Amino acid sequence: MAKRQYSFYPGCSSQKGASSSNYLVSVQTMCEELDIQLNEIPDWNCCAASIGYAGGGELPRLTLSARNIALSEQHHAGQDIVATCAACWLSTREAAERLHEDQSLLAECNTALAEAGLKLKNATPIKHMAEVLVEDIGYETIAAKVKKPLSGIKIAGYVGCQTNRPFGIAGESYENPRYLDKLVEALGGDALTGYEKKVQCCGGALAFSEPAKSQEMVKGIIEAAYDHGADLIVTPCPVCQMNVEVYQDEINATYGTQFKMPVVYYSNLMAVAFGRSAKEAALNAQIIPAKALDDLAAK
Amino acid sequence: MAADKKFAGYLCTGCGIGERLDARQLSQIATREGKMAACKEHPMLCSAEGVQLIRDDIAAGNATHIMIAACSRRAKVEAFSFPEVAMSRANLREGVIWLRPEGDEHQETTQEMADDYVRMACAEVRFMTQPTGSGEQTLNRSLLVVGNGVTAMTSALEAAKAGYGVHLVCDEGELGGVYKDLYKRVPFRAAPVGVSNARTAPLPQPEEPGVAEMIAAIQANPRIQVHLNAKVTKTSGAPGRFSADISVESGSTVTENFGAIVQATDYKPYDANLLPEFAYGKSPDVVTNFELERLAKAANGGPLKRPSDGKEVKAVAFIQCAGQRSDKEGHLPYCSGFCCTESIKQAMYFKAQNPGCDATVLFDDLRTPGAAGEDFYRAGQQAQVTFSKGKASAVDINGGKLTVKFKDLILDEDTAMECDLVVLATGQVPNSGPDPYAQLAVDEAPTEEEKAAARKALEVAPPSILNLDYRQGTDLPHLKHGFVDSHFICFPYETRRTGIYAAGPVRRPMDMKQAIDDAAGATLKAIQAAENAARGAAAHPRVGDLSYPTFRKEGCTQCKRCTVECPFGAINEDEQRYPQFNESRCRRCGTCMGACPVRVISFENYSIDSVGQQIKAVDMPDEFSEKPRILALACENDAYPALDMAAQSGGQISPFARVIPVRCLGSVSLSWITDALNSGYDGIVLMGCRRDDDYQCHFVRGSKMAAERLSKVGDTLQQLNLEQERIQVYEVAITDVQRAPQLINDMAATVEKIGMSPFKF
Amino acid sequence: MTEVVATNETILVVGGGISGMTAALEAAETGKQVVLVEKRPYLGGRVSQLYKYFPKLCFPTCGLEINQRRAKMNPNLRVLTMAEVTGLKGEKGNYTATVKISPRYVNGNCTACGECEKAVSSEFDDEYNYGLGKRKGAYLPYRMAHPAQYVLDPRLIGTPEADQAKAACKYNAIDLDMREESVDFPCGAVIWATGWQPYDAAKIQPYGYDRFPNVITSVEFERLADPQGPTGGKLVRPSDGKEAKKVAFIQCAGSRDRNHLLHCSRICCMASLKQCTYVADAWGKDADVSVYYIDLRAIDRFEDFYAKVRGIEQVKFIKSKPASIVADKEGNPVVHGVDTEGYNRYADSFDLVVLAIGMEPSVDQASFPVDIVLNREGFIEADEANGGVFAAGCASDALDVNRAVQHATGAALRAIQVVHGAAGVEG
Amino acid sequence: MSDLNTAMIERYRTNFLKEVEANVEEGEWVKMCMQCGVCSGSCPLGKFWAHPPQEIFMMIRAGKREEVLSSDSMWMCTSCYNCIVRCPRELPITHIMHGLATYAKRLGLVPQNQPTARFAQMFWDNLMKKGRVNELKLGLALYFMNGFGEGVKTALKKQKLGMNMMKTGRMNPMEILGGHAVKDLSGFQKVIQKAQELEDARIAQHGARQGA
């Protein structure tokens, strides 16, 4: 069967040596197993995430994404754009829709792009990798590829904000999305469907500027996972992963808690379940090791 | 037909009646004691075969009066429908076997209960005649519609469209009424199918008022005769034969006959002079929503100008609920229901003409119900009308500007805004005539301040609109705040003056669209009243009843109780002060019959005897039998169904009770009570409907009247020196399924306590 | 085989709720021939499932009793229950209607004696109680049902229980061979009174109706309050039967919301005010009621009732659309939001939360058997293009009972105008 | 106070609502608010806002220009989009908050040392340099945001975190020297430069955005 091809927008944080480089590694492993070919958008730029607004303002921010889409349309015509980072996906898709509904902005945007000889047609579907898995591949296909079921591993599906709102995954509700739970179940894991913090905000970029406020929310996210007896938390978003995993020491210091909750990507789970090595699954990049997965990968 | 009466009894032995009761005995009682020529038994009387049995007897002329002993009169009504004969029903299923436990120890008393119900049904039918109508009825396919506005015009046009003639009486020089000066109207519709739910979706905008078109249609309609500058100076008669004097200013008067009447006199704009705090009258730039329409009409799409200096309005503020939803002296306690959408519309006038104009609506609750309502709110927001939840306290004049002081309820602060024009969203004051019961209200007011309020209402009573030549006053009774509305949620057109229907804002506050719907509804009821009058049939709630009250003139003492107590003001008095019943005004509740101290009033199928003889027919065991008898008179609309449903759901009732349904507690004659006491009943329970301000009595005051009459029954008891507890009057609702039988059982317990009545002869 | 006698002067009324009953009775009492078609096995519609009416707090069964009597006594009225209009051909003054009648498996012989009910055992969700209770497979839909004729649940057919029911009936009222049938008959005008249904509360995800048993809808709360209801009128909550003393009412649950229903459902504010009195009456001083609202729409004379309820000290009003509901460990719904008058955040825990659920038309736009002018919310707009078809009641807009009846009475006139035309009375 | 600010006060006088509609990203939708408050209740950092979103809208209507623009409320927005998905009137609340923040920044009304405002600016400057974000520099810049002394403290406090990130290959010290970048950097910068100019021009001269 022919590989599915996508125009791939990896985003800054998944670059080598960046905070979610492990995400990219595991995604690549996952895609090999699922016959997905990711064609990186040549010379893509940062999307400014959801924090760039203050520096740039509206049009420059939209133009950042416009440039990426234009490049994709130029080099990977006919391919859907897929992003693994929630913020990248959201900014890009939001820009596309905004420019679609406001033609005057689109005109200004193209005037700017012309400076680099680019033009935006703005007719490319923009997907998050989770959409590709759920809508293009499907749970059954994924389940069929499982070699090492995640049997007995209790997993809290932390969906977070930006893969869920305002666009979300088709057929899911904003308040109680189940796609991570369904993925976990497809991989033979034990999905904690009652996990009530699954769409709680982690603070996003404010983890940097308002750490105390952000960490208070992260505390709740982890506590709830413990309450449900989770072995680990799974997320589709680099910001969520980072915010929930790396500040646990600081939270413990502030609140006297003893958190040591592994936080992984769905791609980590899949790589392991598909029978690939801990390295290929990028488990070595866990600051808080996901022991349950390490053991399974080692089997 | 009454010449040779043929009495026939029928006993159904189905539904367990045959198993639980001695059918032979019941048949014998029907024939021997009940004087039925025969009593035929059938295992399923409601079956086609059973019904045919009865039909054949009727066809053969062997049955002019039939007694059916089977289930409740509320069951199998369609099967047991023999309009050509008089019929009574003994309730052996719901009334006896379903309310009594099985078992030998109960058998004797249960059988006695059934025996009595058969006796009672036989007695009842012996004193019934199948009514045939008064012979007074006439068909008159013409309506009198009173009013100037959209409601009245709609009523006239709808009636004409249904083939009726109309005389439209307008007390102004031109038609149009309160909406004469309307520039645009609030759209009647929501966004059509296909319009998305996006914030940018195109939504309905203010539309042409359509008043002129309506006036043209009226003038072009051959069935409608318009009387301008005219008043109704006298209305007499009854549905089918109303006669009205229509007098015009010039002095000439014409008299016309009508089948029925629609009063669509709309409302009077609230007098804003009562709102000095908002500087009305002090500054010409403070106007009411009604006056604003004139400004808009004058501007006709151009800039709206300030009355004071003719300068274009750059900032306008709308004060919602001005003089409304407030218990302040002179304010309207209610919400007029149309001002929110009116203000949105008027704010849009300014925005449409000059988007730069600031239009702010100060509201407390924005009330734009329904699909069209909420879409119009959105349309106002799209037009950049500013909506602020705030309570305005005052309008100050400073030079050329106005300052509106208000409390911002969202930001929770006292603040103010400057503007060139202030629009007061004032309310609707019903344009109704004087309340015929205003004097009664004074007399009946429980507290002093309520008395004072009632007296005030009496003093400021408006001039009459219909000038009814009725014993009980000249106009439609008010319900509340001067509105001549129905009291019933399920029956908005229940009227207290048969054949006369209120439509539009005179009935309750409403906007133009609802008034148009309301006009159609009231017109249907008027047409229906005329058609029914032609058949001699009663109007709601005893629809189709052909009976009507008559009286023995020689016995009448002209005491006027009947003319005073009739809840519908149906009864007039002739020159010798004898009652004139006006059959087609009568609602057949029997309150007059209950009121009559000399028992001369009766209906062919409901009379002092038809009930009195049932009471007498009951077999009365002697004082030492330990078998008391308890009489229960139950309203057929609520208490009686409650007892039926108790039977359905396994309730139990004392075997000593004998229940008789009555049309209304108001029809209960004291003579029934005294007869019952004299013939040895040990207790009497009367069950009528709720009678306070939220009354449930379907004949308005029937239950109340009964309660008043029965309050005096204590004397009778004293004369007989019987305990007061032996008679109890209760308000019972149809939902009192547990309570209704309990009340009867309580009486049984009381009797057990205080002992049997000595009056057993 | 059902026979329907009708002509092009007959008025067809679709829907036997309060609006349809009213339109049918008013027309019949004006001397017109009327055929009333109702999908349920009984007349009365949603009104029959209400405990009390606002603002009088009187009982709907009271008016229903009168309307049922009117129906029983009127020879001009023909009622078809368990029937649906599947087709309507022709034009104003001259239609042919096609009506599908589902088998009741009980014929007119039924005396409502109840023996069949005693003879069967298996139970099903009770539609009359919105599934809050159970009923037998042979049942009278509710105590006052008209026609007072039992129904056999189709799920019983082919089981031994069906035969037991048949055996228990002494009157040959049970006919297990009944089949669905379809009848055509002429009519001159049609009154469309198909009414409303509660919006699907599960779609309002932030309120977790699908996740928390103690979050219920206002229509369900009516059944709880009704002494004839599944709890015998006790206000107890579904999860554990705990007494519901601290109750929240959330307005605009599905209404005035671009994510759900765009329109204002009109009745919800008044219904909640009414239900406040249920709680206050049940628990007196121990009652603790909060009403969360955007605009309290106690329009026109209903203001009196609003004032009355505001006077109950156990009831407080919070101007706020709650953001979300979560359940605590004890299963108490906790309502989160901000009181917009002064901006105080709240996280209030309740025994029970009642969603004042919105009204949507019960017939969806796709399945109208005839071309008709609708607005985007699916309500029927009055329009010449509708020919001889007229909406009555909630098929035309979100209306309270009083307005629905008012509207239905007007609809009767419009239908009569058409058949008068057909009969040549006009002119 | 910036010249632009003075100019804007001059142009709109009392009508702050009009100013917002004309100059703030998606500001034209403020008018659709029906004051239900669901946004305010839905905000995860709501309790830290001096004025939650709906109150901000009401303040805009009430003309409280200074209070709104110099408020740090909108800087608390985490872009979680709860308010947007729950709003019954489809207000793009998140964007309006971003828009207000941006506008306040343009006018020089941002509260002193508003951390998110400063971080947002760093982030922007950082990505403008190379077209892609350099996390290491961004992180360091963040630590030293409040001066060198503060920075060293923070850096020490964050040392463990930093070490962790490095150990797991999720932070690369070499990034300090250059790091990732777009190849056509000049083209990239020209494009964004142009976009900036267009937007500045639009706001400076007529103010009114299309569609407002």
Using 50, 70 and 90 to split pLDDT, how confident is the model at D149?
Answer: confident
As separate numbers, helices (DSSP H) first and strands (DSSP E) second, chain C gives: 8, 22
Instruction: Note the pLDDT tens digit of each residue in A271-285.
Output: 999 999 999 999 999
Q: Is C324 close to A174, i.e. CB distance below 8 A?
A: no
- Across the B/C interface, how many CB contacts are shorter than 8 Å? 254
State the average pLDDT over residues A29-40.
97
3-state class of B297 per DSSP? helix
Whether residue C55 is preceded by a cis peptide bond, meaning omega within 30 degrees of 0, is yes
Nearest to B199 among D15, D32, D54 (CB): D32
Contact (Cβ atoms closer than 8 angstroms) between residue D148 and residue D164: no
Q: Is C339 close to D37, i.e. CB distance below 8 A?
A: yes
Q: Is C171 close to B47, i.e. CB distance below 8 A?
A: yes
Whether the pLDDT of residue A124 is over 60: the answer is yes
Rounded distance, CA C48 to CA C61, Å? 7
Instruction: Note the pLDDT tens digit of each residue in B297-336.
Output: 999 999 999 999 999 999 999 999 999 999 999 999 999 9
Nearest to B199 among D54, D55, D89 (CB): D89
Instruction: Note the pLDDT tens digit of each residue in B349-396.
Output: 999 999 999 999 999 999 999 999 999 999 999 999 999 999 999 999
Extract the runs of DSSP E, i.e. beta strands, from C180-323.
Answer: 181-187, 189-192, 196-198, 215-217, 246-253, 288-293, 315-319
Task: Supply the Cα-derived Rg of chain A in whole angstroms.
Answer: 19
Which chain D residues in 52-71 lie under 8 Å from chain A, judged by CB atoms?
A: none
CB contacts, 8 Å: D85 with chain C: 259
State the average pLDDT over residues B283-289.
98
Q: Is B388 on the interface with D (CB under 8 A)?
A: yes
The confidence score (pLDDT) of residue D14 equals 72
Instruction: Note the pLDDT tens digit of each residue in C49-102.
Output: 999 999 999 999 999 999 999 999 999 999 999 999 999 999 999 999 999 999
Instruction: Note the pLDDT tens digit of each residue in C320-372.
Output: 999 999 999 999 999 999 999 989 999 999 999 999 999 999 998 888 988 99
CB contacts, 8 Å: D32 with chain B: 199, 378, 381-382
CB contacts, 8 Å: B389 with chain D: 35
The confidence score (pLDDT) of residue D209 equals 47
As separate numbers, helices (DSSP H) first and strands (DSSP E) second, chain D gives: 12, 0
> In this structure, what token pair is assigned to residue A185?
């179940």
% of chain C with per-residue pLDDT over 90: 96
CB contacts, 8 Å: B380 with chain D: none
Q: Is B384 close to D21, i.e. CB distance below 8 A?
A: yes
- Phi, psi (deg, nearest 5) at residue A216: -60, -40
Whether the pLDDT of residue D211 is over 80: the answer is no
3-state class of B517 per DSSP? helix
Task: Scan for tokens 């309580």, then name that residue.
Answer: B746
State the average pLDDT over residues B686-698.
93
How many angstroms away from the CA of B333 is the closest CA of chain D? 26
Instruction: Note the pLDDT tens digit of each residue in A141-153.
Output: 999 999 999 999 9
% of chain C with per-residue pLDDT over 70: 99
State the average pLDDT over residues B177-196.
96
Query: Chain C residue with minimal CA distance to B160?
Result: C426
The confidence score (pLDDT) of residue C427 equals 42
As separate numbers, helices (DSSP H) first and strands (DSSP E) second, chain B gives: 20, 29
Rounded distance, CA B661 to CA A94, Å? 73
Q: Which residues pair with B12 in a beta bridge?
A: B42
**Count, residues in chain D:** 212
Rounded distance, CA A97 to CA A105, Å? 11
How many angstroms away from the CA of A47 is the closest CA of chain D? 8
Which chain B residues in 402-441 lie under 8 Å from chain D, judged by CB atoms?
A: 408, 410-411, 415
Q: Which residues in C have their CB inside 8 Å of a CB on D?
A: 206, 252, 256-259, 294, 319-324, 336-340, 343, 345
Rounded distance, CA C70 to CA C60, Å? 15
The confidence score (pLDDT) of residue D206 equals 61
Q: Which residues pair with B280 in a beta bridge?
A: B283
The confidence score (pLDDT) of residue A1 equals 57
CB contacts, 8 Å: A174 with chain C: 205-206
Beta strands at C215-217 and B315-319: parallel, antiparallel or unpaired: unpaired
Query: Chain C residue with minimal CA distance to A171?
Result: C203
Torsion of CA B572, B575, B576, B580, to 10 degrees: -30
How remote is the C-alpha of B457 from its chain's centroid?
A: 22
List Cβ neighbours of A119 (8 Å cut-off, separation of 6 or more): A70, A110, A113
List Cβ neighbours of B310 (8 Å cut-off, separation of 6 or more): none
Whether residue C147 is preceded by a cis peptide bond, meaning omega within 30 degrees of 0, is yes
Q: Which residues in C have their CB inside 8 Å of a CB on A?
A: 205-206, 208, 211, 324, 326
> In this structure, what token pair is assigned to residue B310?
């003719």
User: Could you say which DSSP state residue B506 is in?
Assistant: G
Rounded distance, CA D156 to CA B447, Å? 82
Contact (Cβ atoms closer than 8 angstroms) between residue D122 and residue D53: no
CB contacts, 8 Å: D54 with chain C: 338, 340
Q: Is D84 on the interface with A (CB under 8 A)?
A: yes
Which chain D residues in 19-48 lie under 8 Å from chain A, judged by CB atoms?
A: 25, 44-45, 48
CB contacts, 8 Å: C403 with chain B: 514
Q: Is C321 close to D37, i.e. CB distance below 8 A?
A: yes
Rounded distance, CA B233 to CA B227, Å? 13
How many angstroms away from the CA of D62 is the closest CA of chain C? 15
List Cβ neighbours of D115 (8 Å cut-off, separation of 6 or more): A209, A210, D145
Q: Is D172 close to A45, i.e. CB distance below 8 A?
A: no
CB contacts, 8 Å: D118 with chain A: 209
Nearest to C338 among D40, D85, D89 (CB): D40
The confidence score (pLDDT) of residue B470 equals 96
% of chain A with per-residue pLDDT over 70: 100
Instruction: Note the pLDDT tens digit of each residue in B493-507.
Output: 999 999 999 999 999
Give chain C's mean pLDDT.
Answer: 96
- The number of beta carbons lying within 10 Å of the beta carbon of residue B627 is 17
The confidence score (pLDDT) of residue A52 equals 87
Contact (Cβ atoms closer than 8 angstroms) between residue A68 and residue A42: no
Nearest to D195 among A45, A51, A112 (CB): A112
- Using alpha carbons, list the distances in angstroms from residue A226 to A151, A177, A184, C332: 19, 20, 18, 22
HSE (CB half, 13 Å, CA atoms) of B397? 14
The confidence score (pLDDT) of residue D7 equals 85
The confidence score (pLDDT) of residue D203 equals 84
Q: Is D38 close to C252, i.e. CB distance below 8 A?
A: no
Rounded distance, CA B512 to CA C318, Å? 32
Instruction: Note the pLDDT tens digit of each residue in B427-442.
Output: 999 999 999 999 888 8
Q: pTM for the complete prediction?
A: 0.96
The confidence score (pLDDT) of residue B77 equals 96
Whether the pLDDT of residue C155 is over 70: the answer is yes
State the average pLDDT over residues C214-233.
97
Whether the pLDDT of residue B292 is over 90: the answer is yes
The confidence score (pLDDT) of residue B444 equals 83
Rounded distance, CA B662 to CA B667, Å? 7
Rounded distance, CA D27 to CA A61, Å? 17
Q: Please name the chains neighbouring A, where neighbouring means 3+ C-beta pairs under 8 angstroms.
A: C, D
Instruction: Note the pLDDT tens digit of each residue in C185-200.
Output: 999 999 999 999 999 9
3-state class percentages of chain A: helix first, strand second, coil last, to nearest 5: 50, 10, 40
Using 50, 70 and 90 to split pLDDT, how confident is the model at D210?
Answer: very low
D60 vs D137 pLDDT, higher one: D60
Per DSSP, the residues of C154-215 read: GGGTTSHHHHHHHHH-TTS-B-TT---EEEEEEESEEEE---EEE--GGG-GGG-TTT-TTE
Using 50, 70 and 90 to split pLDDT, how confident is the model at D208?
Answer: very low
D155 vs C142 pLDDT, higher one: C142
Q: Which residues in D have their CB inside 8 Å of a CB on B?
A: 15, 17, 21, 29, 31-32, 34-35, 54-55, 58-59, 61-62, 89-91
CB contacts, 8 Å: B493 with chain C: 406, 409
